[in-house]
Amino acid sequence: MTPLLATEVPTRLVHLAPVDVVIVVFYFALVLAIGWYLKGRANTGEDFFMAGREMTAWVAGLSFLSANLGALELMGWAGSAYQYGILATHWYWIGAIPAMLFLALVMMPFYYISKTHSVPGYLKLRFGEPARALSAVSFGFMTVLMSGVNMFAMAKVMQIVLGWDINFSIWVSSLTVAIYVTLGGLRSAIFNEVLQFFLIWAGALLIPILGLYEAGGWTNLKLQIAQRTSEQYVHLWSGLGSFTTNPMGIHWTGIVFGLGAIISMGYWTTDFLVVQRILAAKDIRSAEIAPIIGAGFKMMVPFIVILPGLLGLAVLPMKLVPESVAKVTGGYSYNDVLPLMLARYCGPGLLGLGVTALIAGFMSGMAGNVSAFTTVWTYDIYRPFINSKGSDHHYVNMGRWTTVIAVLISVGTAYLVMQFASIMDYVQALFSFFIAPLFGTVVLGMLWKRATGPGGFWGLLCGTLSSISMWTWVKLDPSALRYVALSPHAKGLAQDMYQALWSFVVCVVVTVVVSLATKPTPDSELTGLVYGLTEVPAVRDVPLYQKPLFWAAVVTVVFFVLNIIFW
Amino acid sequence: MISIWFFIGISLAVNGALILAAGIYQLVNPPVNPGVVLFHLHANVWWGTALLVFGLIYCFKFAPGRQS
């Protein structure tokens, strides 16, 4: 018996064999070794915060995707698939692919050519200091909360699967992330994210393979799910004509306009956590190709996240319940479906790899949050507002200390998250508060040269406040959901979709009105920042198969085919 | 500088070897109560082999001495 298991509780799902423990320990040793190896290559600000801007398209693209493969992806969406059926796939396809392609082809040139260190940094160049300050502070707030969500989710899985004490899991994972990000900066985070990408696939891919074998194939699985729940659990679009004909209680307009056009655009194009990975690309073609590579793999992620949730509906002998019910009855909640499926199929060795994949996913999300927070704090809050005359070495040291402090704040946040009934609702609410209005501000800034500094600032502020107000309104008076989400039958996730849509609209309207009422910014100050005033280098001297546009077209075709197949 | 792909090769090869060894042990000494469904497929043997082979290919292709 290892010391790791000394804090076990009697409710654990599985017992790790010695070989499983070796695999888990080897993972921690390897990520720390990578951090140690890279510590000599993080001596300048450009190295520590931007990984030297020398990542290839593949490394940047896989890191871009892996930074998003955190607690929410692995455990939360498997649970959502069990709860809502295949509808959860929308968050991977229409809720990601168009946005990733938009980032690659439309927005990335402006980010890259402006040579900004961050998204708030772009807002400073485009709209001035107030917009940057508002964006940096809200991003920092959201990031540490997200990091806490990741930590809590990981600790919960470790408790359910292995019986490990929640406190022990939080502290071991957070200290490991703190060490390897402090040593190697963004490069260390990116290296480990790519490693984690492979581990996640190696550890999780067996669940759908063996699950489909047990269920008798996809056709039999659909029949079993329809018998146990309803036929709408296996259709992506056919039940979205009404709020009452699908398990999620959402209308197709919410999915298309709220999720596809606003929330996903906001997340994938303006959330610095993921955009930072692309900014580390070695040249503009790599920066454009990287999100397309990410999109290609993103379309496949439902196979290891959504499908296990659907398989759980068919093959698990027990019925999973909401988190709040599980706490009272002692049963298993929706969020437990992935570890339950892992325990169902994976014996010694495979179980260790599966557990390692979960830990890796959680730690990649945490490291992504911490490294992004560190950059925004140092470059967008500390340097402009607290100490603008420090040396490059001083800011690197500030980055290292901020990494440690961010981890400690995240630990505190993880304990706060324990008070919330649903991890998913919590995270979705955060997205709606900040991401949707930020997308409105950034996209107007890039595509409309008439947008002014005051317009950008007031649009962002009003959009954010409107989102918080709607959320508070529904919290205080749940019947208000009929106004926010356009139907008395709407449920929680539908509220998030429409809340994002309205806050985006508020942001855009306020930005346009204030911009038209204020003095235009001279064109000379917008060169390199706005469409029409920026010369984007054309990709001419490479064969067709190396052009971003070609691969974006391929991904688009596959995207439509998948949606039609699972209609 | 050592390539990230080399580190990935090490990770997959070591994990594959450990899983394969565990699978072979269970093949030779079948447990009375395997504790998992579909035990008869011996997934850890073929999955461990696949990871080991994939990892070794990466280790060889991206070994530090072979990189320019």
Domain span including residue A111: 3-39+47-565
Query: B-side interface with A, Cβ within 8 Å?
Result: 1-2, 4, 7-8, 10-12, 14-15, 18-23, 25-26, 34-39, 41, 43-44, 47-48, 51
pLDDT of residue A8: 36
CATH number at residue A293: 1.20.1730.10
Per-residue tokens: A120:
């708030």
Residue of A nearest to B9 (CA): A195
Of A318 and A73, which is predicted with more confidence?
Answer: A318
Query: Does A1 score more than 50 pLDDT?
Result: no
How far does A139 lie from chain B, in Å, by closest CA?
29
Q: Do A347 and B38 touch (CB under 8 A)?
A: no
Q: Do B51 and A27 touch (CB under 8 A)?
A: no
Q: Do B21 and A352 touch (CB under 8 A)?
A: no
Domain ranges for chain B, please list them: 4-66
| DSSP conformational letter for B33 | S
How far does A183 lie from chain B, in Å, by closest CA?
16
Query: Is residue A62 within 8 Å of residue A194, measured between CB atoms?
Result: yes
pLDDT of residue A109: 84
Contact list in A for residue B12 (CB cut-off 8 A) is 198, 202
Q: Do A191 and B7 touch (CB under 8 A)?
A: yes
Q: Angle CA(A399)–CA(A119)–CA(A152) in degrees, nearest 5?
A: 60
Residue A324's pLDDT band (cuts 50, 70, 90): confident
pLDDT of residue A11: 59
Contact list in B for residue A27 (CB cut-off 8 A) is 11
Question: Is A198 an 8 Å CB contact of chain B?
Answer: yes
* Measured torsion, CA atoms of residues A400, A403, A409, A415, in degrees rounded to the nearest 10: -140
Report the residue from A14, A191, A347 with minimal CB separation from B39.
A347
Residue with tokens 């004509």: A241
pLDDT of residue A9: 36
Query: Does A108 score more than 90 pLDDT?
Result: no
> What does the alpha-carbon distance between residue A133 and residue A145 come to, in Å, rounded to a whole number?
19
Give the closest residue to A252 by CA, choosing from A560, A486, A76, A506.
A486
Q: Angle CA(A28)–CA(A396)–CA(A385) in degrees, nearest 5?
A: 125
> What does the alpha-carbon distance between residue A555 and residue A295 come to, in Å, rounded to a whole number?
7
> What does the alpha-carbon distance between residue A73 and residue A66 come to, in Å, rounded to a whole number?
10
> What does the alpha-carbon distance between residue A113 and residue A104 come to, in Å, rounded to a whole number?
13
Q: Which of B5, B44, B51 to mutate to test the interface with A (most CBs of A within 10 A)?
A: B44
pLDDT of residue A424: 46
Query: Is residue A212 within 8 Å of residue A310, measured between CB atoms?
Result: no
> What does the alpha-carbon distance between residue A81 and residue A337 come to, in Å, rounded to a whole number?
9
Contact list in B for residue A344 (CB cut-off 8 A) is 36-37
Contact list in B for residue A16 (CB cut-off 8 A) is none
- The total domain count for chain A is 1
Helix runs in A205-237, H state only: 206-215, 218-228
Tell me the pLDDT tens digit for each residue of A508-517.
999 999 999 9
Residue A4's pLDDT band (cuts 50, 70, 90): very low
Cross-strand bridge partners of residue A333: A321
Residue B40's pLDDT band (cuts 50, 70, 90): confident
A30-50 burial string, b = 16+ CB within 10 Å, else e? bbbebbebbbebbeebbbbbb
Give the closest residue to A100 by CA, choosing from A338, A277, A233, A230.
A277
Tell me which range, A78-87, A138-147, A156-165, is most confidently predicted by mean pLDDT.
A78-87
Q: Do A348 and B26 touch (CB under 8 A)?
A: yes
Element (H, E) at A34: helix A18-38
Per-residue tokens: A445:
């800034």
What average pLDDT does the segment A120-144 reach? 89
> What does the alpha-carbon distance between residue A431 and residue B29 come to, in Å, rounded to a whole number?
51
Write out residues 40-69 of A within 8 Å (CB-CB) of B: 41, 59
How far does B47 lie from chain A, in Å, by closest CA?
8
| DSSP conformational letter for A115 | T
